[in-house]
A = this chain, B = another copy of it.
Amino acid sequence: MSNPTRQATAANKPGRPAAATAAFGRPLQGWRLRAYTIIFEADTRAGRRFDLALIVAVLLSLALVMLESVASFREAHKTWLSWAEYAFTALFTAEYLLRLICVRRPLAYATSFFGIVDLLAVLPIYLAFFFPDLYALVDVRVLRLLRVFRILKLNNYVAAYLSLGRALRASASKILVFLSAVLMIVLIMGTVMYVVEGPENGFTSIPVSVYWAISTVTTVGFGDITPKTDLGRAIASLMMLLGWGVLAVPTGIMTAEMAAQRIGETASPTTRSCHACLREGLQADSHFCRHCGAPLPEYQRD
């Protein structure tokens, strides 16, 4: 399976110190190297096929979990649902163990982002033996689909995903400032509404009022709790305008500025208006209206 000439890698060169082995684990060879290439990388045809099969398996198991939660479906298909569950459980558990085996340092894999994702993909099934309600959390395995970008060999997808992550980290401080301000406003406004409206109007405690405040400022507006007093509705109006205004004011202003640059306009600062056509903004020293030509009286001002 493995070509002898391929074996002449950096790992096997004479003189390679044993420290490398100690630091990085046994070098990959033979079937372990082959397994690693297929499972972890996607630049070989076998690797791509594996990823494709994995995606299909993940999607199928997700559909299974979602349909199982629908009571009518669960009743109608009781028999084969359990078998399908066991099948997928066995499949993903075997795959996870195989990953641990064919990596040089299993602990590094198990603590990496994808390692944790892969563990969370199988864990809920076992937790469900003790806490049956948690079975649905198997849906977390959808995060495994983050690998799907590789198989499509679309580099710009990968670049887009990485750049989005870095973009967030670069602006982290600004985002934190912004969100802190929002949280403070929401806490204070929620408390004010709790005082103004009170538990008899649905605002049963401060946490509940803060939940309402968040639903109002983010313009979601469930409507399960609504202000009934006039003062409460006035405060709610302010919060709604704030939450929407944070979005609307910048976009509206930016559009106006862009268009203004395109037209290259200059402001007309006087209120002098023509008696005939009533157009405003005439120059202070005009003798005739520049729009309609009417003769103008001398400009009065003090």
Contacts and interface: CB of A to CB of B under 8 A. Distances in A.
A81 to B, nearest CB: 14
Contacts of A223: 221-224
Contact of A42 (B139, B145, B157, B271): B271
A278 B112 contact: yes
Contact of A230 (B65, B190, B207): B207
Contacts of A276: 23-25, 104-105, 108
Interface size class of A (residues with CB under 8 A): 35 or more
A164 to B, nearest CB: 5
A62 interface: yes
A283 to B, nearest CB: 13
Contact of A267 (B41, B155, B184, B295): B155
A149 B184 CA distance: 14
Contacts of A302: 43-45
A44 B297 contact: no
A253 to B, nearest CB: 5
Given A164-B252, A249-B255, 13 more contacts: A11-B296, A20-B295, A23-B294, A66-B205, A69-B205, A108-B278, A139-B190, A163-B259, A166-B263, A167-B260, A171-B253, A175-B253, A221-B223
